[in-house]
Amino acid sequence: MAKQRLVIIGNGMAPGRMLEHLFEENHAAFDVTIFNAEPRVNYDRIMLSPVLSGEKSFEDIIIHDDAWYAQHNITLHKGAKVAKIDRTAKTVTSENGITAPYDKLVIATGSDPFIIPCPGHDLDGVLPYRDLDDTDAMTAAAKQGGNAVVIGGGLLGLEAAAGLNTLGMDVTVLHLMPTLMERQLDSAAGYLLEKELESRGIDIRCKSNTKQIIGEDGQVTGVELEDGTLIKCDIVVMAVGIRPNVALAKDTGLEVNRGIVTTNGMQTSDANIYSIGECAEVGGMVYGLVAPLYQMAAVAAKHLCGPTDALFQHSETPTKLKVTGCDLYSVGDFAEGDDREDIVLRDANMGTYKRVIIQDNKVIGAVLYGAVEDGGWYNEMLKSGEDISDMRDTLIFGQAYQGGGELDPLAMVAGMSDDAEICGCNGITKGMITSKITSMGLTSLADVRAHTKASASCGSCTGLVENVMAITLGDAFKLPEVEGMCGCTPHDHGTVRRLIKSQGLKSIPAVMQELEWNTPEGCSKCRPALNYYLVADWPGEYQDDQQSRFINERVHANIQKDGTYSVVPRMFGGLTTPDELRAIADVADKFEIPTVKVTGGQRIDLLGVKKDDLIPVWDDLNKAGMISGAAYAKGLRTVKTCVGTDWCRFGTQDSTGLGVRLEKLLWGSWSPAKLKLAVSGCPRNCAESTCKDIGIICVDSGYEIHYGGAAGLHIQGTTKLGNVETEEEVLEYCAAMTQYYRETGYYLERIYKWADRLGYDHIKSVIYDDPVARKDYYERFLHSQKFAQVDPWAERVKGAEAHEFTPMADLTPREAAE
Amino acid sequence: MNIQNTQWVTIGALNDIPRQGARRVIAGPKTIAIFRTTQDEVYALEDKCPFKDGPLSEGIVHGKTVSCPITNWVISLETGAAQGADQGQTQVFPIKLEGQTIQLGL
């Protein structure tokens, strides 16, 4: 049988999901052509809010990349908006002139943001919040700082407001109704949400009716309310709702009501045309949340493949708000009524609120704020219509309190019925997961995600899915390697760094509280990492926590295996003087330091210094003009040099002088791991620049900047960043790169690993190709250095942290005089 | 077996030790590490990790444990026992805290 031609208008989440089902049912049945008005592949629109707040990148939320379309032989026309459907000729034509014939057509045009047609709605700076372009526009606007007004206090509006607030804008939310998210929350939960958002500095104004948007020279400058209040702003985000995008279907003569009218099999009034997604109206309802849209996709796929009795069925979809730190969950019907009973539990200290709505001894709705773990359980009871009279007294406390003692999560999952929904986004039940695990022999979470879609959208059910795997596989199931920084948190380093910035967390206890550390005080793995991240992210604001530093960084010397220390004074660029050398020799004699050694970093190491002697040793070295060489630090160590033009007949530039300048610029800075530089005066490379974290090679025309070398456990040559002409440029590029590394590196990750992770092309595009970004990083580095370039030895000689260096008491009995 | 009475010696004040920190007390050939937790509890262990003799007073204190600076073994401040899969024991000394004053039992 010849392949049928399937044309899809729209490339959002619903048609993407439909194709997956289609290929699963019958891979060879269709030649697929997609027209996408957006110039890109299919991505997870639910996750735009984390992209806005900076918690995720666009790459993180792509569902199908270009390779996927190629693999399935799909013709994808990006940026091609369909202008016309010819139902007689059975063709589709786009605005840019592409025509494609179809046997079956799927309309998935989604919805358009609703723009209030008030005066000024067409000014520059009035943005909807719908797709990646809108998100990008908001991010760009937020870079300028200033004020933002968000019109609409619903799900999308609040996510936009929280995102803009995180990006540093002053945000005002205007909401027509008396409480926020009134469609999903009752007034009590709405109040708690309002309080939480206000505590973050978002100005919430309920019962506010916009009269007009005011502008100057075509650009937004403010919003005027009906009561005459004027709010100044630089952007206005309209998030008052969406409207099914039905224009094309209407022009084509299909039956259209609020949405494109379809049967429960997703068929429109034309038997060859289907419609799914936010544009479709089924059973008199249009939908905006992902779970019913995915159900439409599954049903449509079945019908396209042949006769089937699969039908779309309405079900209540729970709502969650994707704002980090605001946990809320609502499902079902929560209007008050005479025939309904409420069970409510509030905890003012914890800021939590739980309300379950009961009718005829059955759960018909639930609203949870602050404590949402039991949302899924209430939703399951709502769906099953279970009689709850027996557990009425304890219902509100949640599932863990039913049937006596606390239920462990595995037993809880084991007790779920096969119909119980595990993944709300994708409508995946426990039975669907267990049957795939068994039939396909799946053992990893990644495989289960790939084959069932469970936990593949918002990811909040990952723990449940793992428990289902544990029960199904028994001993064969191994929890995935903990990806967290350490056993204290499931968050990885990248997530923790992003959240420290995006939530403005400025102390170790704040990080542990807000990111829900599962140990009270962390451990020796996470505390030094957090301390570094806070030092790097909040220069001048964060008070370095000495107790979270390893001993070497606390006492500014290297502990040796016998408990003594080594002391290394700084020699900028490897240069020293007879006076410095004399002072070092005197110190070695005076304190009976057993070993004096020249290091690989061109300086001198005094080994075997007793702890109690550290301060006097430093005092003597300080007096001779020397400071700490930071040979113990996750920070700038040395800049190694060769002698360059001053002495060497091959030298092309003053490599020693440049090395001194670099070290004077960079010393004192903390970084994720140690940082070693070198400057070689010619390509013979006597300073070994090509195995350093950052290495400079002088050439006739200027300087080559290299980075990402390693010569430790791992050996790797550097990669060239590019050429520059002046010493000033070398300083700026190196400092900018160091700052980029400081801001994005994971604790203990050397530059070569960091560069492998981020990609050398990417780093080049930021530090070498983009002068604005480079300047930004350079400026931030200089700012941070204002607080970092303090000699820790001198501070301690003056008495800082004195407790580190002397015993608390000496109880050794005095020997009696003979 | 010798039965000895514990001899209590005043070694200093609570505020001599930083929270989540430690100080050393020299007692003849032995060094004793005195720890202070976030909750202002005080514990004393011989300043010697049971694995490679690392000075525990230099470790990072978290909860009622300390991580050895040399090997990262985690030692309980209450019992002196190595935590997790590691096996080992460090000597524990009794502490009396009266107001600000710390007394060490030898």
Whether A315 contacts A292, CB under 8 Å: yes
Average pLDDT over residues A698-709: 95
Q: What is the pLDDT of residue A340?
A: 81
Q: Which of A692, A588, A604 is nearest to A640 (CA)?
A: A692
Whether A697 contacts A685, CB under 8 Å: yes
- A180 alpha carbon, distance to own chain's centre: 26
In this complex, do B16 and A808 lie within 8 Å of one another by their Cβ atoms? Answer: yes
Whether B15 contacts B48, CB under 8 Å: no
What is the least distance, in Å, from the CA of B68 to any CA of chain A? Answer: 9
Alpha-carbon distances of A181 from A192, A321, A330, rounded to whole Å: 11, 10, 11
| Cα angle value A483/A484/A487 (rounded, 5°) | 115
Q: Could you identify the residue written with the tokens 């020799």?
A: A585
Q: What is the pLDDT of residue B32?
A: 95
DSSP H helices in A338-424:
375-384, 409-414
Task: Tell me: pLDDT of A383 over 50.
Answer: yes
> Strand pairing partners for A635?
A670
Task: Tell me: pLDDT of A481 over 60.
Answer: no
Neighbours of A482 (CB within 10 A): 11
Question: pTM of the entire structure?
Answer: 0.55
Alpha-carbon distances of A205 from A197, A208, A382, rounded to whole Å: 11, 6, 34
Lowest mean pLDDT among A25-29, A192-196, A223-227, A792-796: A25-29
Element (H or E) spanning A204, and its range? strand A203-205
**Chain B touched by A154 (CB under 8 Å):** no
Burial environment of residue A221 by CB neighbours within 10 A (0 to 12, 13 to 18, 19 or more): middle
- With beta carbons under 8 A apart, name residues in chain A contacting B75: none
Q: How many helices (H) and strands (E) are present in chain B, helices listed first?
A: 0, 10
pLDDT tens, residue by residue, A355-373 = 888 888 899 988 888 878 7
Q: Which of B24, B58, B62 lies at the smallest CB-CB distance from A523?
A: B62
Average pLDDT over residues A190-216: 89
Burial environment of residue A191 by CB neighbours within 10 A (0 to 12, 13 to 18, 19 or more): middle
Lowest mean pLDDT among A19-28, A79-88, A201-210, A695-704: A19-28
CA distance A762 to A758: 7
In this complex, do A547 and B9 lie within 8 Å of one another by their Cβ atoms? Answer: no
CA distance A198 to A520: 28
Q: What is the pLDDT of residue A767?
A: 95
What is the least distance, in Å, from the CA of B71 to any CA of chain A? Answer: 10
Nearest chain A residue (CA) to B8: A811
DSSP H helices in A721-770:
727-744, 751-758, 760-767
What is the least distance, in Å, from the CA of B58 to any CA of chain A? Answer: 6
Task: Kindly indicate the confidence band of residue A315, based on its pLDDT and cuts at 50, 70 and 90.
Answer: confident
Element (H or E) spanning A546, and its range? none
Nearest chain B residue (CA) to A564: B55
What is the least distance, in Å, from the CA of B91 to any CA of chain A? Answer: 18
Q: What is the pLDDT of residue A341?
A: 82
What is the least distance, in Å, from the CA of A619 to any CA of chain B? Answer: 22
Q: Which of A324, A299, A319 is nearest to A310 (CA)?
A: A299
Average pLDDT over residues A685-708: 95
CA distance A615 to B104: 27
In this complex, do A550 and B38 lie within 8 Å of one another by their Cβ atoms? Answer: no
3-class secondary structure, A472: helix
- With beta carbons under 8 A apart, name residues in chain A contacting B58: 551, 554-555, 559
Q: Which of A167, A128, A163, A126 is nearest to A146 (CA)?
A: A167
Q: Which of A563, A803, A807 lies at the smallest CB-CB distance from B26?
A: A807
Task: Tell me: pLDDT of A722 over 90.
Answer: yes
Of residues A27 and A473, more confidently modeled: A473
Average pLDDT over residues A302-328: 81
Q: What is the pLDDT of residue A817?
A: 44
Task: Tell me: pLDDT of A784 over 90.
Answer: yes
Q: Which of A796, A789, A800 is nearest to A572 (CA)?
A: A789
pLDDT tens, residue by residue, B14-55 = 999 999 999 999 998 899 999 999 889 999 999 999 888 889
- Estimate the crossing angle of helix A430-440 against helix A445-452, to 10 degrees: 110
CA distance A752 to A759: 10
Q: Between residues 214 and 253 of chain A, which touch chain B (CB distance below 8 Å)?
A: none
Residue A46 tokens, joined = 């639910």
Average pLDDT, rounded, for chain A? 88
- Residues from B contacting A (CB-CB < 8 Å) are 9, 11-12, 16-21, 23-28, 31, 34, 38, 52-55, 58-63, 67, 69-70, 72, 74, 104, 106
- A294 alpha carbon, distance to own chain's centre: 25
Alpha carbons within 13 A on the beta-carbon side of A46: 21
Q: What is the pLDDT of residue A405?
A: 43
pLDDT tens, residue by residue, A624-655 = 999 999 999 999 999 999 998 988 998 899 99
- Set out the domains of chain B in order of their start, with CATH numbers: 19-96 (2.102.10.10)
Neighbours of A813 (CB within 10 A): 7
Return the residue in B42, B45, B62 with the most chain A beta carbons within 10 A, the one to mutate for interface testing: B62
Residue A711 tokens, joined = 């010569």
CA distance A127 to A136: 11
Counting residues of chain A whose pLDDT is more than 70, the rounded percentage is 96
- With beta carbons under 8 A apart, name residues in chain B contacting A807: 23-26, 31
Task: Tell me: pLDDT of A497 over 50.
Answer: yes
**Chain B touched by A595 (CB under 8 Å):** no
Secondary structure (DSSP) of A20-64: HHHHHH-TTSEEEEEEESSSS-EE-GGGHHHHHTTSS-GGGGEEE
- Estimate the crossing angle of helix A727-744 against helix A655-666, to 10 degrees: 40
Return all residues near B75 (Cβ < 8 A) that are at least 6 apart: B45, B49, B50, B56, B59, B65, B66, B67, B68, B81, B82, B83, B88, B90
In what side-by-side order are the strands of the sheet with A210-216? A210-216, A219-225, A230-232
Q: What is the pLDDT of residue A687?
A: 95
DSSP one-letter code for A686: T
Q: What is the pLDDT of residue A518?
A: 82
Task: Tell me: pLDDT of A320 over 80.
Answer: no
Task: Tell me: pLDDT of B88 over 60.
Answer: yes
Whether A637 contacts A577, CB under 8 Å: no
Task: Kindly indicate the confidence band of residue A677, based on its pLDDT and cuts at 50, 70 and 90.
Answer: very high
In this complex, do A807 and B72 lie within 8 Å of one another by their Cβ atoms? Answer: no
pLDDT tens, residue by residue, A418-467 = 877 788 777 788 888 988 888 888 888 878 887 887 877 666 677 788 88
In this complex, do B59 and A551 lie within 8 Å of one another by their Cβ atoms? Answer: yes
In this complex, do A808 and B9 lie within 8 Å of one another by their Cβ atoms? Answer: no
**Chain B touched by A507 (CB under 8 Å):** no
- Set out the domains of chain A in order of their start, with CATH numbers: 4-111+244-304 (3.50.50.60), 126-240 (3.50.50.60), 493-549 (no CATH), 550-628 (3.90.480.10), 635-790 (3.30.413.10)
Q: What is the pLDDT of residue A458?
A: 63
In this complex, do A548 and B60 lie within 8 Å of one another by their Cβ atoms? Answer: yes
In this complex, do B18 and A561 lie within 8 Å of one another by their Cβ atoms? Answer: no
**Chain B touched by A809 (CB under 8 Å):** yes
What is the least distance, in Å, from the CA of A675 to any CA of chain B? Answer: 22
Residue A625 tokens, joined = 């003009």
Task: Tell me: pLDDT of A740 over 60.
Answer: yes
3-class secondary structure, A125: coil
In this complex, do B60 and A528 lie within 8 Å of one another by their Cβ atoms? Answer: yes
- With beta carbons under 8 A apart, name residues in chain B contacting A544: none
**Chain B touched by A524 (CB under 8 Å):** yes
In this complex, do A808 and B27 lie within 8 Å of one another by their Cβ atoms? Answer: no
DSSP one-letter code for A425: T
Neighbours of A46 (CB within 10 A): 17
CB pairs under 8 A between A and B: 86
What is the least distance, in Å, from the CA of A548 to any CA of chain B? Answer: 7
Residue A74 tokens, joined = 């799909």
- With beta carbons under 8 A apart, name residues in chain B contacting A523: 60, 62, 67, 74
What is the least distance, in Å, from the CA of A305 to any CA of chain B? Answer: 56
Q: What is the pLDDT of residue A406?
A: 46
**Chain B touched by A714 (CB under 8 Å):** no
What is the least distance, in Å, from the CA of B40 to any CA of chain A? Answer: 14
Nearest chain A residue (CA) to B19: A547
Q: What is the pLDDT of residue A331?
A: 87
Element (H or E) spanning A769, and its range? none
Average pLDDT over residues A715-725: 94
Return all residues near A720 (Cβ < 8 A) that are at least 6 apart: A704, A705, A706
Nearest chain A residue (CA) to B35: A808
In this complex, do A551 and B63 lie within 8 Å of one another by their Cβ atoms? Answer: no
Return the residue in B9, B14, B23, B24 with the most chain A beta carbons within 10 A, the one to mutate for interface testing: B24
Q: Which of A551, A808, A810 lies at the smallest CB-CB distance from B58?
A: A551
Return the residue in A518, A808, A810, A815 with the most chain B beta carbons within 10 A, the one to mutate for interface testing: A808
Counting residues of chain A whose pLDDT is more than 90, the rounded percentage is 49
Return the residue in A545, A558, A811 with the most chain B beta carbons within 10 A, the one to mutate for interface testing: A811
**Chain B touched by A521 (CB under 8 Å):** yes
Provide the b/e sequence for B28-53 (b: ≥16 CB within 10 Å): eeebbbbbbbeeeebbbbbbbbbbeb
